[in-house]
Amino acid sequence: MERILIVDDEKKLLRTLSDFFRGQGYDVLTAETGAAGTALALAKTPDLVILDIMLPDVNGYDVCRRIKEKRPSLRVLMLSAKGEEGDKVVGLELGADDYLTKPFGLRELLARVRAMLRRGETPAVEIKRCTVGETVIDLESYQAIRGKKTVKLTALETKIFSYLAARRNKVVTRDALLEEIWGFDVTPTTRTVDNLILKLRKKIEPDPAHPRYLLTVYGAGYQLVE
């Protein structure tokens, strides 16, 4: 599960962002000061930091600089009520990976966070065949093979399985599947994902009612395990 650190002294916003990202399946850490944020960023190894500029002790620019000196690969998205181009340039020159001006929409913030995390991923190796228990999934021919029995997979089932297999043992949220499989502006809902997962289980699980490999992580999403 990917971890996000949110550093902001505005308690209401901090609570809103924390609840929102937990609801999207992320592990969330929070801090209300620059010093606390810096300490958490270096000690708890988050995957991304959402960092406000106006903090009560150390400003966000200094926090960003200190974090990047120790962990240059850690993604930092800076938040600020300031909208001037010069303020954005300062943040980006100090190593920030993105900059968002308040007020902002949660969906825009989520889209930016997901894009930043994807940029930080090691590119997934293309998988052509994958074994799940006694079932072999051939992603090129859209087939699930168990012994002498072969079951055809649909294009969407194959695409979802391929995405999960490339992130084996990691939790993948329903929204992430929606965005990656159908695109960010989508008509399908998370229920569409759930229904496809159920159909996929019937084709790859020995006992679909009690899955061993394609698991539901309640409140988060799905996980393909060894």
DSSP 104: -
Which of 76, 102, 77, 99 minimizes the C-alpha distance to 87? 99
What pTM, to 2 d.p., does this model score? Answer: 0.56
- Statement: residue 132 has pLDDT above 80: yes
Q: How many other CB atoms sit within 10 Å of the CB of residue 133?
A: 12
DSSP symbols for 33-101 = SHHHHHHHHHHS--SEEEEES--SSS-HHHHHHHHHHH-TTSEEEEEES---HHHHHHHHHTT-SEEEE
Instruction: Confirm if 46 and 20 have CB atoms less than 8 A apart.
Output: no
For residue 13, name the pLDDT band (cuts at 50, 70, 90).
very high
Domains and CATH numbers, the chain: 3-120 (3.40.50.2300), 129-224 (1.10.10.10)
For residue 82, name the pLDDT band (cuts at 50, 70, 90).
low
pLDDT tens-place string over residues 155-187:
888 888 988 988 888 888 888 887 777 654 445
pLDDT number for residue 70: 83
- Statement: residue 16 has pLDDT above 90: yes
**More reliable by pLDDT, 157 or 51:** 51
Residues above pLDDT 90, as percent of the chain: 46
pLDDT tens-place string over residues 187-205:
557 778 888 899 999 999 9
pLDDT number for residue 180: 72
Peptide bond into 123 cis (omega under 30): no
DSSP 122: P
pLDDT number for residue 45: 81
Average model confidence (pLDDT) across the chain: 86
Which of 105, 217, 226 minimizes the C-alpha distance to 167? 226
pLDDT number for residue 184: 46
pLDDT number for residue 123: 42
